[in-house]
Structure 1
Amino acid sequence: MPEQEAHSIAINSFNLNHQDYDTFRPSFKEELVNPFLVQLGLGEHDSATNKFTFDTEKTIVEIAAGTGKFTRNLVSNGWDNSNAKNTNNLIIVEPSKGMLESFKKNFPQIKKENIHQAASYQLPLADNSADAVIIAQGFHWFSDSASLKEIARVLKPTGKLGLIWNLDYASKSQNTPIEKSKFYDGGSYYYKDIDFSKYKTVEELLSDYVANQPWSKKVTELIYQYDLGVPQYRHGKWRDILEKGGNEYFSPIEVELFVLYDKLIAAEDVYKYWETRSYITELSERQKAKIKEDVEAILKDYAGKASRPFSDDGDERLLKPMGTHAIVLEVKK
């Protein structure tokens, strides 16, 4: 049988839009990233001082690294190939040539020999060579048994897999009990008013959270009409492979972490933000022009309705409620 390959729509889209992706996609909040790295066994947290320390002698493999949105957090915490004992502490794997073009510009300090154009199905790494594998904003493209088997191969017997996504909206991907989840405030105007006790699932909480900004909810619902044909985080199929069969390589999800935060965005950048989605990039210019027109009509209709209630500095950007979801799994070896 031929070897599996990275999803063609993802490759084609990201080859085309890597620069816009780098400009308009959100980064990852350290309020969640730091405890996420601790859960992965890559550091420790001192609760008395609320300080994190990281073991950068451990090797991380970041798969589907893209332009390096998550990599920035790793580099800032010391995974930059400059460790005196382990100068190969960060290995990058990304199937898109375009994404790697932007990545290399963003991270000249990462050694060229540690950056690989490859897919999750053929990792150019030795068995038992990684302490952790991290996939940011990408696992839904290759959430299958073949990928899990290959990821497990390169992990050490004590290794862990970390998956993390930024999110715009509530979906069945967050259908997890509130009491089994940990929450962090990444700078959300609404966080202090959330009554966590009234919700059974994270999905229910997020549904109310994103509704605080009607314009954002309406635009998101418009855009999501176009994403039915490609794998997406919100569809939840990634969770099915981990929990309902096909996953013989990792233990059940160890922990689920969520951070809520605000993204401030200029009205003229709202469509540009959504245009970086693969399912939008793939559309014809005529279709994209129509979506842009629809987005602008929504913004006009909802202008002034709970946009940024605390702004007193002349900043006219819109407030977009956002979140990030991270999970950790242990390899079975």
Structure 2
Amino acid sequence: MSIKDQAQTGFAKAADYDAHRPSFPPGSVEVLLDAVRLSGNDGAIVIDLAAGTGKFTEILAKRPEGFKIIAVEPHDDMRAVLEKKALPNVKVVKGLSTDIPMPDESADAVVAAQAFHWFANIESLKEINRVLQPHGAYGMIWNIEDYNAPRAHKAATSWEATMQDFIWSLDDNSPRYRHEKWRQVFDQQLESSPLSILTSSQPLFALPLGAHEERWEVLLPKDRIWDRLNTLSQISVLEGKERQNAENLFKNAIDAPETEVNEKGEVVIHGGTFSHWTTKIPQ
């Protein structure tokens, strides 16, 4: 399975992505690592799938357990940024969610940070199941700002609501966390068909998914907020007049009188970190 065109183009500025995308809250990280049985599991073999520039890989590499980490990333520019970090106990490899370059039942856990929505399909679940040890675990985690949240989520401020509406107006056929369709693949594994009956197929992963949410706020200067918005692939691909219109919309929204600005010229971004996990069902 090739990389989605939107992801390939939208993440071409990998260094900017790495500089302006946030890391993950320690509390959410601890919950996820506990859930996938990595906390205290010294020397565990972990696959960081679609590792990108290594935002979550860095967290894993700093852990006291001394994990053996295989960071799998298909995007050449992002993988290059990750490789330059030369993180300890990390092997960076090119691979896809449907073609993970690891032996059968070789990993204690697979994690996907800010990524699973791109490859939420049965073929990927089969491959993740293949590389996990019996009863190994799969964890997913996302940082989601209010302006990039599902449509039903009410943004905390008017400028964030304006940007949320704008980002939804750019919607295309590319999968996003905010669509909430990534969950469907776990339900689809339970759907029966003549072929699954003939092959005695059974679910790949246990349900229901474990879940944890942590709300947060962060203060940033207005220009840094625009930089952060530009790490979203649907904004980063804008060019010419479309890009200028987007920046003008942002500036008008964030400069509105109702926007609260502190003495340092910083504005609050509201968001949440969403973690989900499950365990392999041996086939």
Q: TM-score, normalised by structure 2?
A: 0.88
Residue 66 (structure 1) aligned with residue 55 (structure 2)? no
Residues 82 and 92 of structure 2 are in contact (CA less than 8 Å); yes or no, is this contact kept in structure 1? no
How many correspondences in the alignment?
269
Map of 1:103 onto structure 2: 82
Shift of 1:280: 2.0
SS at match of 1:326: strand
Q: Kindly indicate whether residue 267 of structure 2 is the aligned counterpart of residue 318 of structure 1.
A: yes
**Cα distance in 2 for residues equivalent to 1:285 and 1:106:** 33
Superposition RMSD in Å: 2.0
Report percent identity of matched pairs: 28
2:173 to 226, 229, 240: 229
* Structure 1 equivalent of residue 15 of structure 2: 19
Counterpart AA for 1:271:
W
Q: How does 1:154-173 map to 2 (within 5 A)?
A: 154-169=131-146, 170-171=149-150
- Once residues 139 and 75 of structure 1 are traced to their aligned partners in structure 2, the CA distance between those partners, rounded to angstroms, is 21
- The match for 1:192 is none
Q: 1:127·1:153 contact (CA, 8 Å) conserved in 2?
A: yes
Question: Which aligned pairs between 1:173-184 and structure 2 lie closer than 5 A?
Answer: none
Counterpart of 2:268 in 1: which secondary structure? strand
SS in 1 for 2:22: coil
Partner of residue 279, structure 2: 330
Matches of 2:218 and 2:164, distance apart in 1: 14
Q: CA deviation at 1:245?
A: 4.4
Question: Which residue of 2 is the match for residue 50 of structure 1?
Answer: none
Gaps of 5+ in 2: 192-202
Superposed structure 1 runs of 4+ greater than 6 Å apart:
none
Match of 1:55 in 2: 41
Q: Which amino acid aligns with 1:13?
A: G
- Structure 1 CA distance for aligned equivalents of residues 9 and 280 of structure 2: 32
Cα deviation, 1:56-98, whole Å, max 9, x if unaligned, reads 321110001111111222122136xxx4xxxx71110001111
Give the match for residue 5 of structure 1: 2
**Separation in 1, partners of 2:101, 2:271:** 35
Classify the secondary structure of the residue corresponding to 2:205: coil
Residues 6 and 120 in structure 1, CA contact (< 8 A), matched pair in contact too: no
Paired position in structure 1 for 2:194 = none
- Corresponding residue number in structure 2 for 1:131: 108
**Secondary structure at 1:70's aligned position in 2?**
helix
1:140 aligns with 2:117: yes
* CA distance in 2: counterparts of 1:220 and 1:254, whole angstroms: 27
